[in-house]
């Protein structure tokens, strides 16, 4: 079969764009595996090429802000900050989807509006509240804040999902004498696995990638999260791009891996979140 000329052209065009698109990432990756003196005049300069992982080791054990510690801390925050809002929001979303409430529509508008509020709008009072309860520089404080901030969109997302589930199964269980809560966690939650997975993937990435809330709540050098350590690794006058790029790769590796492995759920969450929201 003869392939059309325009099809060939479009394929070439698309792949050149893709190649161009990777350049910034490629540059950081190349720099991260080479000594800084080799890339002084560009990472595409291959007159000398001695790849090694020593920059990664150096970033991991950085003298002032070791990234290994930051990555551990980020996991300590991101995992509970994903699971807590997941269940709290699913519970509320189920209520919104199934129970009749007099002020339901009104609350719903509030939730949609809440999703657009920037974090700067809560920063100062949040700091003061956490300070009063001794939760500044404490992961519990940050986890609670992340959980609360995730709730709005997760409730909206999960409610839309619950509305697509058939009510008949739940009604049958009710006839058999199951309580609302039993129906929720024995019947509805297991059926909701795909939606819960989408939510978990998106929420985990947002918490992992967050910088602003961490910047406000976490201050002790030891406690800093991974994203907070990145700007601190950039010197004021001299930038050691090798170590900095290795650190960047390490921090972005986690969400990239999550995305690569769970892409189906991520995209579904993204589309559902934006188009139905």
Please report, as residue ranges, which positions from 150 to 179 form the binding site for other proteins (by CB under 8 A). Answer: 151-152, 155, 179
* Distance, C-alpha 110 to centroid of its chain: 24
Local structure of 82: helix, strand or coil: helix
For CA atoms 174, 176, 177, 179, the dihedral sign is negative
Is 10 one of the binding residues for other proteins (CB under 8 A)?
A: yes
- Mark residues 71-90: x for contact with other proteins by CB under 8 A, - for none: --------------x--xx-
Is 188 one of the binding residues for other proteins (CB under 8 A)?
A: no
* Distance, C-alpha 154 to centroid of its chain: 13
Q: Which of 5, 63, 64, 120 binds other proteins (CB under 8 A)?
A: 120
Torsion-angle region of residue 51: left (phi > 0), alpha (psi -120 to 50) or beta? beta
Is 187 one of the binding residues for other proteins (CB under 8 A)?
A: no
Q: Which of 69, 77, 188, 230 binds other proteins (CB under 8 A)?
A: 230
Minimum gap (Å) between residue 46 Cβ and other proteins: 13
- What are the C-alpha distances in Å from 198 to residues 69, 82, 162, 180? 28, 11, 14, 25
Minimum gap (Å) between residue 193 Cβ and other proteins: 20
Q: Which of 50, 121, 168, 175 binds other proteins (CB under 8 A)?
A: 121
11 exposed, middle or buried (CB, 10 Å; 0-12, 13-18, 19+)? exposed
Is 209 one of the binding residues for other proteins (CB under 8 A)?
A: yes
Is 193 one of the binding residues for other proteins (CB under 8 A)?
A: no
Minimum gap (Å) between residue 181 Cβ and other proteins: 6
243 exposed, middle or buried (CB, 10 Å; 0-12, 13-18, 19+)? buried
Is 112 one of the binding residues for other proteins (CB under 8 A)?
A: yes
Q: Are 53 and 242 in contact (CB under 8 A)?
A: no
CA-based max dimension of the chain: 77
- Nearest CA to 231 among 218, 248, 246? 248
Is 271 one of the binding residues for other proteins (CB under 8 A)?
A: yes
- Among the residue ranges 60-68, 116-124, 164-172, 191-199, the one whose residues contact other proteins (CB under 8 A): 116-124
Is 103 one of the binding residues for other proteins (CB under 8 A)?
A: no
- Mark residues 123-152: x for contact with other proteins by CB under 8 A, - for none: xxxxx-x--------------xx-xxx-xx
Is 44 one of the binding residues for other proteins (CB under 8 A)?
A: yes
* Distance, C-alpha 145 to centroid of its chain: 15
Is 94 one of the binding residues for other proteins (CB under 8 A)?
A: yes
């Amino acid at each position: 079969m003869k392939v059309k000329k325009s099809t060939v052209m479009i394929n070439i065009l698309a792949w050149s764009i893709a190649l161009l698109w990777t350049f910034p990432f490629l540059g950081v990756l190349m720099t991260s595996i080479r000594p800084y003196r080799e890339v002084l005049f560009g990472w595409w300069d291959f007159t000398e090429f001695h790849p090694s992982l020593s920059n990664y080791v150096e970033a991991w054990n950085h003298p002032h802000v070791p990234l290994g510690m930051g990555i551990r801390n980020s996991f300590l925050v991101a995992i509970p900050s994903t699971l807590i809002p997941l269940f709290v929001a699913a519970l509320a979303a189920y209520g919104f989807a199934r129970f009749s409430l007099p002020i339901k529509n009104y609350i719903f508008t509030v939730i949609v509006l809440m999703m657009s509020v920037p974090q700067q709008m809560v920063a100062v009072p949040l700091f003061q509240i956490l300070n009063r309860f001794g939760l500044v520089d404490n992961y519990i404080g940050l986890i609670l804040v992340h959980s609360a901030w995730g709730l709005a969109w997760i409730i909206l997302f999960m409610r839309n999902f619950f509305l697509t589930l058939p009510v008949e199964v739940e009604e049958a269980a009710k006839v058999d004498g199951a309580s609302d809560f039993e129906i929720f966690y024995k019947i509805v939650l297991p059926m909701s696995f795909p939606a819960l997975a989408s939510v978990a993937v998106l929420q985990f990435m947002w918490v992992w990638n967050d910088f602003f809330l961490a910047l406000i709540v976490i201050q002790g050098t030891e406690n800093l999260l991974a994203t907070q350590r990145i700007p601190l690794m950039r010197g004021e006058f001299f930038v050691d791009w090798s170590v900095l790029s290795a650190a960047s790769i390490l921090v972005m590796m986690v969400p990239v891996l999550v995305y690569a492995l769970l892409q189906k759920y991520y995209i579904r969450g993204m589309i559902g979140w934006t188009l139905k929201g």
